[in-house]
């Protein structure tokens, strides 16, 4: 059984629960996906599948990729991702479909995407430095401060937190709750925010590490003797 699916971030909305509570939610157009290549332990050393996201606009690919899709007998896709298989599940072959119906309401999932790029930022925004005083002529507001000793080692050591490019990397959000599954429109609504901007591609997989939710046990009052 496949453990993930490719999707595209649509945007954020609000979902009201049965008790009237409001939940911030993100709408993801998950799938439909098609299996482009099935990898097995005998041929590749591990088991997984390469998925392609089927979109309305046809994709243009070069000759090498065109042959890759022709071998699987599926139309070319713009986005391909490799996801693992759950042990003991049914084996998939090239051409099989993967749909959002693999998820259920209330299930926990992980969402993997590319975070928003922030550009070149200073240490206050990038590393949450406190900075100096804002008034009284301190002349030290958002500077990093000391970055090393001058006598020894007389250099800036590796790993020193400094200004630089921020964001734009791979981000994984764990244990998001599935609020709604719309199989007819291939939509998945999860609670909270996910990485990236709208129209960005993400991978939604079944949660790898589930949070342990502790339920408080209410002790019943002891009956006194009459």
* pLDDT tens sequence across 124-177: 999 999 989 999 999 999 999 999 998 998 999 999 999 999 999 999 999 999
Q: How far is CA 62 from CA 55, 125, 188, in A?
A: 18, 42, 32
Measured CA to CA, the distance from residue 29 to residue 198 in angstroms comes to 11
Q: What is the pLDDT of residue 177?
A: 92
* 214 band by pLDDT with thresholds 50, 70 and 90: very low
Measured CA to CA, the distance from residue 130 to residue 142 in angstroms comes to 8
* pLDDT tens sequence across 71-106: 888 888 999 999 888 877 677 888 888 898 888 998
**Domain range annotation of the chain:** 117-167
State pTM to two decimals: 0.79
Q: What is the pLDDT of residue 220?
A: 55
> For residues 207 and 175, is the Cβ–Cβ distance under 8 A?
yes
Q: What is the pLDDT of residue 201?
A: 94
Burial status of residue 148 (CB atoms within 10 A of its CB: 0-12, 13-18, 19 or more) = exposed
* pLDDT tens sequence across 2-34: 889 999 999 999 999 888 899 999 999 997 999
Other CB atoms closer than 10 Å to residue 74's CB: what's the count? 19
Quick one: average pLDDT of 220-224? 58
Q: What is the pLDDT of residue 215?
A: 46
The per-residue DSSP string of 24-52 comes to EEEEEEE--EEEEEEE-HHHHSS-EEEEE
Buried b vs exposed e over 27-50: b needs ≥16 C-beta within 10 Å? Answer: bbbbbbbbbbbbbeeeeeeebbbb
Q: What is the pLDDT of residue 221?
A: 56
* 224 band by pLDDT with thresholds 50, 70 and 90: low
Measured CA to CA, the distance from residue 17 to residue 25 in angstroms comes to 12
Q: Is 60 exceeded by the pLDDT of residue 213?
A: no
Q: What is the pLDDT of residue 181?
A: 92
Q: What is the pLDDT of residue 9?
A: 94
* 216 band by pLDDT with thresholds 50, 70 and 90: very low
């Amino acid at each position: 059984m496949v453990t993930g699916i490719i999707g595209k971030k649509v945007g954020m909305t609000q979902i009201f629960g049965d008790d009237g509570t409001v939940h911030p939610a993100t709408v993801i157009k998950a799938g439909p996906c098609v299996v482009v290549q099935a990898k097995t332990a005998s041929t590749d050393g591990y088991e997984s599948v390469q998925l392609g996201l089927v979109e309305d606009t046809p994709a243009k690919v070069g000759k090498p990729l065109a042959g890759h899709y022709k071998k699987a007998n599926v139309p070319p896709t713009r986005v391909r991702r490799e996801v693992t298989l759950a042990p003991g599940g049914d084996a998939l072959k090239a051409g099989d479909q993967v749909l959002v119906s693999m998820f259920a309401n209330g299930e926990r999932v992980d969402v993997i995407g590319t975070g928003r790029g922030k550009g070149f930022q200073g240490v206050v925004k990038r590393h949450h430095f406190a900075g100096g005083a804002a008034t009284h002529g301190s002349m030290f507001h958002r500077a990093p401060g000391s970055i090393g000793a001058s006598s020894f080692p007389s250099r800036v050591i590796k790993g020193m937190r400094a200004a630089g490019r921020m964001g734009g990397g791979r981000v994984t959000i764990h244990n998001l709750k599935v609020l709604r599954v719309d199989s007819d429109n291939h939509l998945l609504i999860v609670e909270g925010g996910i990485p990236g901007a709208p129209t960005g591609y993400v991978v939604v997989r079944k949660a790898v590490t589930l949070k342990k939710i502790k339920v408080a046990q209410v002790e019943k009052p002891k009956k006194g003797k009459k």
